[in-house]
């Protein structure tokens, strides 16, 4: 390691005094002007990680659904998955090290993680459309070059596209070609093969309005348009040419405010969807003839995909284990429908994609979605091999046809991470194959009315939870208070959890009516405010 070069470059990316940040599920996220030293150091870390695992590592510069002035950075592990938890700690240590300690911290990480500095290293870089992203990805490159690594800068890509590239590279092309063309070709081919198997008349042209959150999704969907078949007509809104990223639009806005995004005019019963800022989440929605807005969130997306997969798995008659993985935010009625009507096992895990992904890997077919619209489907190696074998060798027509649909679904879904583009194509294919309208999909079950709130607190760490975040262990008395409040309402449930990114406590409540869900959420927020050190004025109803 060239300590002189490290010192010289580090001085060009100084750490602001007193700033400490934590690497969480979303990597690092904060105001863009505070990130220069962080991204430089993540360039260093990516090289160390690459040398440690002898594989290409990804670095994505994005703050997803955060406001445009924020930015962030996260690392992608060799198979396109999120950074290993033990390295999240190294990331935090490296980010918070004072200037003069930087070399010492790098050396310590090398010792703890058995990093051989003489090995080759390579990193793939991607960024979103934020004004600050280009300069920050240049700082990443500085970090990479100090430690003498190779890199390939993909420039503007969606987060899932970068995950995909990393996986392709490290599977020697087995997962696909590590280029944007490779991504577009693989997805569009699988999509066309899948809808070709559709025997229902349905609508011959499929119109879909897409709110791209004024982000990267618009650019990439436009690039992908020529690959789509004629029957699929996508109409892109909030493409970033006029308005700010994520401002009054995008999947997060639609989910939180339960209303359509700005910049998109909805006619009754038109199918619409929204991506988030880096295109790794998707939600659908429509307006009925009476003008009421209907949101179709991650829970309902998981349900649709589960129905489709369960039918196909029954036809191929293999003993595949299938399950759905949710978090505590999943609507109670979605859980009920999956378990009682569909008879599919459901598992609840802590919030955060890494927990869902990890649990879903335990099954032959693991469907996971967060209610916010981030999710995908994982197929075990054994299941995938068996399905591809059935396509080639099965004599029985029905079995072979079902196996072919499963194979195309495997190729269409981005198994590395939630991917709005890929999820959208899976959903569109299923609706076409089953001849379902958006209203029929929505009518599978009625969501229990719910409310999400947040309370500002002095220190979010005073809240500690258990049972997949459904129960609060601390502060003392809080859970008892929540239990008592929940008892007052029908079909009610509520939980609180500390935010992973800021000093707020998030509150979720559901009940038989919207009025009751709102009242319960408000009462729980008051309990949090008083028992967990709320800041400012108490929450107002």
Residue 211: per-residue pLDDT: 98
Please say whether the beta carbons of 72 and 61 come within 8 A.
yes
Among 64, 122, 132, 137, the active-site one is 64
| Widest CA span in the chain | 70
Residue 204: per-residue pLDDT: 56
**Tokens encoding 269:** 């019963």
Residue 331, annotated ligand binder?
no
- Backbone dihedral region for residue 419 (phi beyond 0: left; psi -120 to 50: alpha; all else: beta): beta
Distances (CA, A) of 189 to 147, 410, 460, 481: 40, 12, 47, 54
Q: What is the pLDDT of residues 441-461, one digit of tens each?
A: 999 999 999 998 999 999 999
- Strands in 293-296's sheet, in edge-to-edge order, are 232-237, 206-211, 272-275, 282-287, 293-296
Please say whether the beta carbons of 208 and 275 come within 8 A.
no
Residue 497, annotated ligand binder?
yes
Residue 372, annotated ligand binder?
yes
Residue 294: CB atoms within 10 A of its CB come to 18
- 3-class DSSP state of 330: coil
Which of these, 274, 280, 292, lies nearest to 209 by C-alpha position?
274
Residue 232: per-residue pLDDT: 82
Residue 445: per-residue pLDDT: 96
For range 455-482, the mean pLDDT: 94
The DSSP result for 78-134, as a single string, is TTS-BPPHHHHHHHHHHHH--GGGHHHHHHHHHHHTT--TTS--EEEEEE-S-TTHH
**Tokens encoding 96:** 């918070």
What's the CA gap between 136 and 138, in Å, rounded? 5
For range 30-41, the mean pLDDT: 96
Binned at pLDDT 50, 70 and 90, residue 399 comes out as very high
Q: Which long-range contacts (CB under 8 A, 24 or more apart) does 161-165 make?
A: 161/126, 161/220, 161/419, 162/58, 162/60, 162/76, 162/124, 162/126, 163/58, 163/76, 163/80, 163/81, 163/414, 163/416, 163/417, 163/419, 164/80, 164/414, 164/416, 164/419, 165/58, 165/124, 165/126
Residue 527, annotated ligand binder?
no
Residue 371, annotated ligand binder?
yes
Please say whether the beta carbons of 407 and 72 come within 8 A.
no
Residue 35: CB atoms within 10 A of its CB come to 27
Average pLDDT of the chain is 94
Residue 130, annotated ligand binder?
no
Residue 541: per-residue pLDDT: 87
Residue 71, annotated ligand binder?
no
Residue 498, annotated ligand binder?
yes
Please say whether the beta carbons of 387 and 316 come within 8 A.
yes
- Assess whether pLDDT exceeds 60 at residue 259: yes
Residue 64, annotated ligand binder?
yes
Active site residue 198: no
Tell me the whole-structure pTM to 2 decimals. Answer: 0.94
Lowest mean pLDDT among 139-148, 188-197, 407-416, 499-508: 499-508
Q: What is the pLDDT of residues 87-113, one digit of tens each?
A: 999 999 999 999 999 999 999 999 999
Please say whether the beta carbons of 154 and 124 come within 8 A.
yes
Q: Strand pairing partners for 322? A: 365
The DSSP H or E segment spanning 56 is strand 56-61
What letter would DSSP give residue 366? E
Lowest mean pLDDT among 201-205, 324-328, 361-365: 201-205
Instruction: Return the percentage of the chain with pLDDT > 70, whole number.
Output: 99
CATH of span 450-532: 3.30.310.50
CB half-sphere exposure, 438, CA atoms < 13 A: 22
Residue 506, annotated ligand binder?
yes
- 3-class DSSP state of 172: coil
- 3-class DSSP state of 71: strand
Residue 501, annotated ligand binder?
yes
Binned at pLDDT 50, 70 and 90, residue 205 comes out as low
Residue 95: CB atoms within 10 A of its CB come to 24
Please say whether the beta carbons of 281 and 251 come within 8 A.
yes
Q: What is the pLDDT of residues 150-200, one digit of tens each?
A: 999 999 999 999 999 999 999 999 999 999 999 999 999 999 999 987 765
What ranges do the domains of the chain cover?
3-156, 298-418, 450-532
Residue 199: per-residue pLDDT: 62
Residue whose token pair is 């049972």: 467
What letter would DSSP give residue 540? P
- Is the link from the previous residue into 475 a cis peptide, with omega within 30 of 0? yes
Angle at 347 between CA 345 and CA 350, to 5 degrees: 170
- Assess whether pLDDT exceeds 90 at residue 256: no
Domain 3-156: which topology? Answer: Alpha-D-Glucose-1,6-Bisphosphate; Chain A, domain 3 (3.40.120)
What's the CA gap between 422 and 184, in Å, rounded? 10
- 3-class DSSP state of 207: strand
- Assess whether pLDDT exceeds 80 at residue 516: yes
Residue 176, annotated ligand binder?
no
Instruction: Return the percentage of the chain with pLDDT > 90, whole number.
Output: 90
Residue 280, annotated ligand binder?
yes
Say yes or no: do domains 3-156 and 298-418 share a fold: yes
CATH class of 298-418: alpha beta
């Amino acid at each position: 390691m060239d300590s002189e070069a490290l010192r010289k470059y580090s001085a060009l990316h100084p750490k602001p005094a007193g700033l400490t940040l934590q690497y969480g599920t979303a990597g690092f996220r904060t105001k863009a002007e505070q990130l220069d030293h962080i991204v430089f150091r993540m360039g260093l870390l990516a090289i160390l990680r690459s040398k440690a695992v002898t594989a290409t590592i990804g670095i994505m510069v994005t703050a997803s659904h955060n406001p445009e002035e924020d930015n962030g950075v996260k690392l992608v592990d060799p198979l396109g998955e999120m950074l290993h938890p033990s390295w999240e700690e190294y990331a935090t240590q490296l980010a918070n090290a004072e200037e003069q300690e930087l070399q010492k911290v790098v050396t310590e990480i090398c010792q703890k993680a058995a990093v051989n500095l003489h090995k080759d290293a390579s990193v793939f870089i991607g960024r979103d459309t934020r004004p600050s992203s280009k300069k920050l990805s240049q700082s990443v490159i500085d970090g990479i070059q100090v430690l003498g690594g190779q890199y390939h800068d993909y420039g503007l890509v969606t987060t899932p596209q970068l995950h995909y590239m990393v996986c392709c590279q490290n599977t020697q092309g087995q997962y696909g070609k590590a280029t944007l063309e490779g991504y577009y070709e693989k997805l569009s081919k699988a999509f066309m093969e899948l809808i070709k198997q559709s025997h229902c008349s349905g609508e011959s042209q499929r119109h879909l309005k897409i709110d791209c959150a004024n982000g990267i999704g618009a650019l990439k969907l436009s690039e992908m348009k020529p690959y789509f078949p004629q029957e699929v007509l996508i109409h892109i809104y909030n493409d970033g040419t006029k308005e700010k990223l994520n401002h009054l639009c995008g999947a997060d806005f639609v989910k939180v405010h339960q209303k359509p995004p700005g910049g998109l005019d909805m006619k009754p019963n038109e199918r619409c969807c929204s991506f988030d800022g880096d295109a790794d989440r998707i939600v659908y929605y429509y307006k009925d003839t009476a003008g009421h807005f209907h949101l179709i969130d991650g829970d309902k997306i998981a349900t649709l995909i589960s129905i489709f997969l369960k039918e196909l798995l029954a036809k191929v008659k293999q003993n595949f284990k299938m399950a759905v993985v949710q978090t505590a935010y999943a609507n109670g009625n979605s859980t009920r429908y999956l378990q009682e009507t569909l008879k599919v096992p459901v598992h609840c895990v802590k919030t955060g994609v890494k927990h869902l992904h990890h649990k879903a890997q335990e099954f032959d077919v693991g469907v996971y979605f967060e209610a916010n619209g981030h999710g995908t489907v994982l197929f075990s190696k054994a299941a995938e091999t068996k399905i591809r074998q059935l396509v080639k060798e099965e004599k029985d027509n029905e079995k072979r046809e079902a196996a072919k649909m499963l194979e195309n679904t495997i190729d269409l879904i981005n198994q590395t991470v939630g991917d709005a583009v890929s999820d959208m194509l899976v959903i569109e294919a299923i609706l076409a194959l089953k001849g379902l309208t958006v209203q029929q999909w929505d009518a599978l079950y009625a969501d229990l009315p719910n409310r999400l709130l947040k309370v500002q607190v002095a220190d979010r760490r005073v809240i500690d939870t258990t049972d997949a975040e459904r129960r609060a262990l601390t502060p003392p008395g809080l859970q008892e208070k929540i239990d008592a409040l929940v008892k007052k309402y029908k079909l009610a449930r509520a939980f609180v959890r500390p935010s992973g990114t800021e000093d707020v406590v998030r509150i979720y409540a559901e009940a038989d009516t919207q009025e009751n869900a709102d009242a319960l959420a408000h009462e729980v927020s008051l309990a949090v405010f008083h028992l967990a050190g709320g800041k400012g004025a108490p929450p107002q109803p």
